Amino acid sequence: MGFNNWNSTHCRREFNEKMVKGIADLFVSKGLRKAGYQYVNIDDCWAKSARDGNGNLVPDPVRFPHGIKALADYVHARGLKFGLYTSAGTKTCDREGFPGGLDHERQDAKLFASWGVDYLKYDNCNNEGRDARTRYRAMRDAIERTGRPIVLSVCEWGENKPWEWAGDVGHLWRTTGDITDTWSSMLSIAKQNRALAEYAGPGHWNDPDMLEVGNGGMTATEYRSHFTLWSVMAAPLLIGTDLRKASAETFDILTNRDVIAVDQDPLGRQGTVVSSEGGRTVLSKPLANGDRAVVLFNETDGPVDITTRASAVGLPAASSYTLHDLWSKERSVSHDGVIGASVPSHGAVIYRVGAEGGVAAPPSGTSDLSALAPTSVSNGWGPVETDTSNGEQAPDDGSPMTIEGVPYRRGLGAHAPSEVTYHLGGSCSRMTVDVGLDDESVRDGSVVFRVYRDYTKVADSGLLTVDDPAERLTADLSGGSVLRLVVTDGGNGRTSDHADWAAPRITCA
């Protein structure tokens, strides 16, 4: 969450030190920092058109007379973080062609770290046709060598499907070309990005580009839809308007904490499409406490009624459901599981929906995890099975769990890629589990098991094959809100990766 100047200024002379300092001040005075915004990022055109005699980038002395380090210090002094821009090519993207980072990765990363940079947007212009993975990994490695934690934004516009390879390269990757301040551009980008939900998660996010909210090309209703869609897609929220000129209505949209909470939910799941027909779309996003964020989105040129059901959006059966409209702030109860609203043209209604009674924290003591209800499940082949192997695609078709001939009575039978989440509520301390490929897998299957406490990885099996015995994992769950059990393919191209979470047990207060 933060700000980037490009959408409002491009390379015009109004982009300068005074503007950036003004934005940092407004983050504090207008409550943006308290709402969660923290990065103040500057885009292209901050540098001189040539490097100095030592090959270093030089800040434009007219735009930034006190230099970049002084600007970063100013931002840091306000409890914020500072971001910078360059390109993974010989020159940046602006037509003036400022020096890019290609073949200067170590030198530039060291310079950025010395200036106190916390975020690097790494663009894709003038790349000389070189392989994207190689170019972006070079900057990743250079940043790591500096020892400074810097968010790396892979901005190669989705051209090389970064969602398939950039998970260990950057923290976010652009999934589309540049957004513009029009309804058609925003809608097109949203549709492209929402198809990639399976690739997003804590520490590796789909990025459908920066926000246009407040720049004047759309109506207030369309801007609320824009903000709603980005939030249900767990997208980065980078403000793209000059906040010094923003209206009260723009600030109201950007600081809606209920909608921001959906975007920033610690489970980190991107919402998915439940239904889409005739310009009426329903999206659902699982939340850490077991609720669902449900968006009713109207692409048409007139008001329409849009409805769905609690069961369709992934909520469990219950006697009733609470609906909290995150824009109007109205609350209601559905006794029949129907979730609906009259939605204005180009509008979006977003509800936070919870089942009666909510999701209880695990019982005190040590429990078999397979006896508890997960809050969300995704699996690569059929359903995740309880106390049996994965089997085939039908429910309840697994066999008794067996890893290298050792049988297990309790557990979860999954298939890569898979993710199962549980609500912890901060009450649990420890998990133990034996992990391995079930004996029903083909002989060259391979997977990796990982356990996450919210965003933090707390156990990792490394690569396991069907020839490996079960490996015991122990994970510290102290203070965690969400437990995430993740299985990923081992990369051998096989699809028969039947993965067992065997004898999983958690200890809670």
433 contact partners, CB below 8 Å, separation of at least 6 = 369, 411, 451, 472, 473, 475, 501, 502, 503, 504, 505
What does each of the 509 residues of the chain score in pLDDT, given as a tens digit?
Answer: 999 999 999 999 999 999 999 999 999 999 999 999 999 999 999 999 999 999 999 999 999 999 999 999 999 999 999 999 999 999 999 998 899 999 999 999 999 999 999 999 999 999 999 999 999 999 999 999 999 999 999 999 999 999 999 999 999 999 999 999 999 999 999 999 999 998 999 899 999 999 999 999 999 999 999 999 999 999 999 999 999 999 999 999 999 999 999 999 988 999 999 999 999 999 999 998 889 999 999 999 999 999 999 999 988 888 999 999 999 999 999 999 999 999 999 999 999 999 987 777 899 999 999 999 888 888 888 999 999 999 999 999 999 999 999 999 999 999 999 999 998 888 999 999 999 999 998 667 899 999 999 878 999 999 999 899 999 999 999 988 889 999 998 876 666 899 999 999 999 98
pTM of the model: 0.82
> Terminus-to-terminus CA distance in the chain, angstroms?
34
By DSSP bridging, strand 418-423 and strand 482-489 are: antiparallel
Are 398 and 483 a contacting pair, CB within 8 Å? no
Of the candidates 174, 148, 190, the one whose C-alpha atom is nearest the C-alpha of residue 93 is: 174
Of the candidates 334, 233, 232, the one whose C-alpha atom is nearest the C-alpha of residue 293 is 232
Residue with tokens 């995704």: 378
Q: Using the structure block, give the residue that is written with the tokens 């973080």.
A: 81
Task: State the pLDDT at residue 168.
Answer: 93
- Per-residue pLDDT, 494: 63
Q: Establish whether 123 is a catalytic residue.
A: yes
pLDDT at residue number 426: 87
**Domains detected in the chain:** 2-263 (3.20.20.70), 272-355 (2.60.40.1180), 365-508 (2.60.120.1060)
Catalytic one of 44, 108, 118, 123: 123
pLDDT of residue 314: 87
Establish whether 444 is a catalytic residue. Answer: no
The CA-CA-CA angle for residues 462, 467, 473, to 5°, reads: 35
Q: What is the sign of the dihedral through the CA atoms of 338, 341, 345 and 346?
A: negative
Q: How far is CA 266 from CA 163, 203, 331, in A?
A: 20, 11, 23
Exposure of 191 in the CB half-sphere (CA atoms within 13 A): 13
**What beta strand segments (E) does 101-176 contain?**
119-123, 151-154, 172-174
Catalytic residue among 60, 73, 94, 178: 178
Whole-number CA gyration radius for the chain: 24
What whole-number distance in Å separates Cα of residue 352 and Cα of residue 108?
44
What are the DSSP calls for 3-63, one per residue?
A: EESHHHHTTSTT-SHHHHHHHHHHHHHTSHHHHT--EEE--SS-B-SS--TTS---B-TTT
Confidence at residue 454, expressed as pLDDT on a 0 to 100 scale = 81
